[in-house]
Structure 1
């Protein structure tokens, strides 16, 4: 991924990076220099964003209980 620096020295953080780090408006970030000279972007608060699985947890909503599902698979009504 790449981004272009504006005349004011600003860069838009790519959406995939923002989503991965959980960066939303108002989130503070740190720039650190790695041992190999690379620059690493991290969240300043060290919070880890919810995993993609955690974000989906509880999204199925209310539905059938186990007995009802088993009855459907057996063709019972």
Structure 2
């Protein structure tokens, strides 16, 4: 893996998934000796928030709120 001219690297998908690095995850860098660590900022521990972030914009079916609510109701 190489650093781009803009100082960027790509975190492999299997690592992002394992550590929960979703788009817009806040991170910090920590230098210890000659090693660089990338850590996720954990201001709020809310797994639901991360799930919403991951799922946002992924819908493939256009439905109104009423149509969605109708699917969740147990009518007779």
In the superposition, the TM-score normalised over structure 2's length comes to 0.48
TM-score of the two chains, using structure 1 as the length reference = 0.48
More helix by share: 2
